[in-house]
Amino acid sequence: MKVSQLTADDVEIYIDSEFKARLPAQSEQEREEMIREIEHAGRFVGTICCWRDGKGALTLLDGHHRYDYWLGRREETPIGPPVVEEILLPEREAALDWMDSHALAGRNLNSKQASAIRGRRYNRKKPAAHRPKKGGQIAPLSDEGEKGGQTAPLSAATVADETGVSEDTIKRDGQYAAALDVIRKVNGKAATDLESGDLKLSKSDTIKMAALEPADISHCLKNLRYGSKWNEGLDNGAPEKTPQPEQPKDTAGRVIPEGLRDVFGVSRSASSMLNSAARYINEVLKLDIPTMPQSAVKVALKDLKAAVKAGLAHAVCPYCKGRGCQHCGQHGYVTKDQWDGIPEERRK
């Protein structure tokens, strides 16, 4: 496979937007780990993989994040450029399949990402009568020899074998991946966020959503962004249509008024970031540095958590129901401490 030992500075590398969109977004933590790894090793670890497309452009398949990092740093860093490896693939579909199988093998994927990738591989491999074979080569990478005949169930068995899940799972994955492809056409970012879990929706609801008209899909995606139930306000075919649609609620079970949803939303994010920070500090403690004042750090961490949590939106102000009053300092919501100071009978 390896035909060159070129570096990213020797060649012009082309970024294909469809390929790039397929990659799960890199979390802040993953980015930090990547940078640590590069700096620790004093070089780029692993090659960045490219494929020469039909027009002869060297297209990036794997290593987008490292390549990005290189482009941003090459003037200032003593680290040499990453080595480029050219992967020989006959066509675009094969390149996408290579990316998917590579992603399955390499990264820490969440269950939805893994499901979407398995499903794409299954959908791609499933023998399709309408897809003409070009020169007998469709997907050379997946030429593991389907056992006896070209039927869809056997293809599911092949992907199931490769990935260690059941055939039924593969078939459901196929539906999920197809649903994401439909949603991707409406809103590419949303499809990526559904896969990564940044937008929360079950696989079965994702499949239901994809069956809607594009305008309705857009509507549902907005619902998700604003923390409403995904199918709220759909007038056709919403499975659980009730006169009072479900709305986001605070910890006291009070519906959060529209104008306060952002602050409750970011409070939730802040709370999960705080948990990540705490996990990092706990990792630091596990390093067992002899001079580390373990208990002092633990106490400081506890104080830090309390301080941050004390600032988060906890409940809609029961006095003004969110409009803003002297009790809540015109914010419309109260913090946990404020809430605890409100008499029981007022909280209801």
Residues that bind Zn ion (CB under 5 A): 317, 319-320, 325, 327-328
230/339 with CB nearer Zn ion: 339
Compute the distance between CA of residue 143 and CA of residue 136 in angstroms, rounded to an integer: 12
46/324 with CB nearer Zn ion: 324
Closest CA to 201 of 185, 181, 223: 223
SS3 16: coil
Compute the least distance from the CB of residue 346 to Zn ion, in Å: 11
Compute the least distance from the CB of residue 162 to Zn ion, in Å: 58
Compute the least distance from the CB of residue 348 to Zn ion, in Å: 15
14/319 with CB nearer Zn ion: 319
What letter represents residue 80's amino acid?
Answer: G
- Indicate the DSSP class of residue 255: B
Angle at 263 between CA 258 and CA 267, to 5 degrees: 135
Q: Residue 185 half-sphere exposure, CB side, CA atoms within 13 Å?
A: 11
- Are 297 and 287 spatial neighbours (Cβ–Cβ below 8 Å)? no
13/260 with CB nearer Zn ion: 260
In the chain the beta strands, taken as DSSP E runs, fall at 6-7, 13-14, 48-52, 58-62, 83-86, 315-316, 333-334
User: Pairing between strand 13-14 and 58-62?
Assistant: parallel
Q: How many CB atoms lie within 10 A of CB 298?
A: 13
196/338 with CB nearer Zn ion: 338
Compute the distance between CA of residue 43 and CA of residue 22 in angstroms, rounded to an integer: 26
Compute the least distance from the CB of residue 238 to Zn ion, in Å: 34
46/257 with CB nearer Zn ion: 257
Compute the least distance from the CB of residue 336 to Zn ion, in Å: 15
84/316 with CB nearer Zn ion: 316
Q: Residue 52 half-sphere exposure, CB side, CA atoms within 13 Å?
A: 10
144/340 with CB nearer Zn ion: 340
Give the C-alpha distances (Å, rounded to integers) separating 14 from 64, 115, 177, 272. 11, 28, 26, 36
Compute the least distance from the CB of residue 335 to Zn ion, in Å: 12
Compute the least distance from the CB of residue 330 to Zn ion, in Å: 7
Compute the least distance from the CB of residue 317 to Zn ion, in Å: 3
